[in-house]
Chain A
């Protein structure tokens, strides 16, 4: 009987017989993607805005119309003076106030540029940031429309551009993040817990005394999770595409290959954690605090990295999920090929090599 297949079979038995594991494996990804998807799309719809139009000309009216017809904004009120702004924002009646300078259309025709100001209620910085970017993108789209047929470039002052997400769907940002989170959770946490369990039960000793090589033991343990994680990646992509209409503009094969790489990286991380943890609780604890939270908070999944304090930005560089999210966004939304993501790919490969090396080293010192 083949040693390795026997081992993998045993691992599958562990997974299938543990209801909690099954729930984590197949319940959480679906619930999470639906939850994130819907919560986010709802939140972004119909945000109240107020408009202070000093110009009241044809152009400002068109911009206002375009903003309000986007579905993201709803007109709360039209105001006449700057004094009203603070009150509106503080009371929460409006989340954005948009101000057009006087003679908007005239200066646009005369100088090719006109100024508008967006003031946001930043008590919820994440939403504020998103709303501002949406407004920016809509106005940018408007000014692009104006330029058609014009000899001189016409511009409305812009800060953020959202080139590749023209439909401005928040869920697009969450599909890559959720993929990173789920694959990380599954691969790293589940393997580290399952290896720690062998140690806790004392079965690891029996395995180490047996003719099985440590490499076989580790491979045997991670193989089922590679399969499971891969299925999950497919489920998440399918949900993103079918339920939320997310595009896969790039190559699906490249996307799956990169996902495979990320899974292997996460498994290495799980193996590394298991060299430190001797009990399931410790493995769980390390996974949650060293993996799950940073992956959610620092990878750009929920909070944009650019908005973070520089120390946190620094930490975000060592969060593997950050690179994976960049890769997935590039492939799915921008349709980028390998040439555009090779740097991030290299970082993941490097991280994986480093983790495996550290694990082997740690494993050897433990034997000595």
Chain B
């Protein structure tokens, strides 16, 4: 994996193990994610999705395993990784007591974007999201849907190579969720790799490739259509149910 080719995975994980005391949250995970892909991490709550995404983002250290993110080693080049990724959690993570513009300016600032770039990009963004009228309003007054869109836009504002989304659609109505996925598609079409965790099985359909986890292990990994074929059904929900049954027996 030393040669710089397009085939080189942007995220490469080999035998990732994460233990909390005697509890194994991630049990020998191995997977690759390719550039521009929308990669879904699926599983019930407590399956180990969030643990894995936190490790990839550098929020938590792995117990063992080899990991490279955006071409950098997780153990040695964590600083380089940080410059090349974006992250959004289910909390949306905006400052309620700051305005839309102040939030954007702050987050762009910590990625050392230039003032002029920030201004231009913000203008484009606000226009695209129809947020111009509320530019100077506090975040606290925005609806959940707007907060979600803004949080995502901020996560990719500094044009990262990869954006990690941890249950980004929690607590949002289906229409807004649909709109949100359109934004994800747009980001992917601009070359940003999207790594997303969710427990909504319908969202799995939107991913290029999904990886299904239970109890810390990967039990299936493929494109949604191949998985549906394999388990002979037409919904991901059913795929998941059949898989879960296999694990239990």
The answer to whether B75 has its CB under 8 Å from any CB of chain A is: no
Quick check: is B94 within 8 A (CB to CB) of the other chain?
Answer: yes
Contact, CB under 8 Å: A6 / B111 = no
B39 to chain A: which residues have CB within 8 Å?
Answer: none
Scoring B57, B79, B87, B97 by chain A CB atoms within 10 A of each residue's CB, the highest score goes to: B97
B94 and A203 within 8 A (CB): yes
Residues 230-244 (chain A) with a chain B CB within 8 angstroms: none
Q: How far is the CA of A17 from the CA of B140 in the complex (A)?
A: 12
- CB 8 Å contact bits of B99-113 with A (1 = contact, 0 = none): 000100111111111
A206 to B91, CA, bound (A): 10
Quick check: A202 and B111 within 8 Å, CB to CB? no
Q: Is A208 an interface residue (CB 8 A)?
A: yes
How close is B237's CB to chain A, nearest CB, in angstroms? 28
Residue A212 CB within 8 A of the other chain = yes
Q: Is the Cβ of A367 less than 8 Å from the Cβ of B95?
A: no
Q: Distance (Å) between the CB of B44 and the closest chain A CB? A: 21
Verify A208–B59 contact, CB threshold 8 A.
Answer: yes
Q: Are B110 and A7 in contact (CB under 8 A)?
A: yes
Q: Which of B97, B106, B110 contacts A18 (CB 8 A)?
A: B97
User: Are the C-beta atoms of A211 and B59 separated by less than 8 Å?
Assistant: no
Least CB distance from B20 to A in Å reads 10
B58 interface contact, C-beta 8 A: yes
The smallest beta-carbon distance between A205 and chain B, in angstroms, is 6
- Which residue on chain B has the smallest CB distance to residue A9? B106
Counting CB contacts under 8 A, is A124 at the interface? no
Alpha-carbon distance between A201 and B97 when the two chains are bound, in angstroms:
11
A51 to chain B, nearest CB (A): 63
Asked whether, in the complex, the Cβ of B107 is within 8 Å of the Cβ of A206, the reply is yes
Contacts A6-B105, A6-B110, A210-B110 hold; do A202 and B97 have CB atoms under 8 A apart?
no
Q: Are B82 and A211 in contact (CB under 8 A)?
A: yes
Shortest beta-carbon distance from B69 to chain A in Å: 11
| Contacts known (A13-B97, A201-B93, A205-B87); A367 close to B61, Cβ less than 8 A | yes
- The secondary structure that dominates the A interface is helix
Known: A6-B106, A13-B98, A209-B57. A203 touches B82 (CB 8 A): no
Give chain A nearest CB distance to B130 CB in angstroms: 24
* Structural contact, B95 and A209, CB atoms closer than 8 A: no
- A1-B115 contact in complex given A6-B105, A206-B87, C-beta closer than 8 Å: yes
Within 8 Å of chain B (Cβ to Cβ): is A3? yes
**B118 on the interface (CB 8 Å rule)?**
yes
Q: Cβ of A202 and Cβ of B85 under 8 Å apart? A: no
Would you call B61 and A209 a contact (CB within 8 A)?
no
How far is A13 from B108 in the complex, measured between Cα atoms in Å?
A: 17
List A residues 4-25 near B (Cβ within 8 Å). Answer: 6-7, 9-10, 13-14, 17-18
Cβ A17 vs Cβ B97 within 8 A: yes
- Assembled-state Cα–Cα distance A18/B138 (Å): 13
Q: Are A1 and B112 in contact (CB under 8 A)?
A: yes
Contact (Cβ within 8 A) B82 A367: no
Closest to B99 in A: A13
Q: Is the CB of A203 within 8 A of B93?
A: yes
User: Nearest-CB distance from B233 to chain A (Å)?
Assistant: 36
Q: A206-B87, A212-B110 are in contact. Are A13 and B61 (CB under 8 A)?
A: no
Task: List which B9-32 residues lie within 8 A (CB) of chain A.
Answer: none
State whether the Cβ of A207 lies closer than 8 Å to any Cβ in chain B: yes
Over the window 328-368 of chain A, the binary record of Cβ atoms lying under 8 Å from chain B Cβ atoms (1 yes, 0 no) is 00000000000000000000000000000000000000011
A7 to B95, CA, bound (A): 12
Tell me the nearest residue of chain A to B106, going by C-beta. A10
- Give the residues in chain B near A7, CB-CB below 8 Å: 106, 109-110
- Min C-beta distance of A286 to chain B, whole Å: 23
B110 close to A14 (CB less than 8 A): no
| B186 CB → nearest A CB, Å | 21
For B107-125 the 0/1 string (1 means CB < 8 A from A) is 1111111110010000000
How far, in whole Å, are A253 and B222 apart by their CA atoms in the complex?
69
Say if the beta carbon of B96 comes within 8 Å of chain A: yes
CA distance in complex: A244, B118 (Å): 52
A interface vs B, CB < 8 Å?
1-3, 6-7, 9-10, 13-14, 17-18, 201-203, 205-212, 367-368
A-B residue pairs, 6 tightest by C-beta: A202-B91, A6-B109, A209-B87, A202-B93, A1-B109, A17-B97
Show 28 A/B contacts (Cβ-Cβ < 8 Å), sorted by A.
Answer: A1-B114, A1-B115, A2-B109, A3-B112, A6-B105, A6-B109, A9-B106, A10-B95, A10-B106, A13-B95, A13-B97, A13-B102, A14-B95, A14-B97, A201-B96, A202-B91, A203-B93, A205-B89, A205-B93, A206-B87, A206-B155, A209-B58, A209-B82, A209-B87, A210-B111, A211-B79, A211-B82, A368-B61
| Chain B residues within 8 Å of A, Cβ to Cβ | 57-61, 79, 82-83, 85-98, 102, 105-115, 118, 155, 164
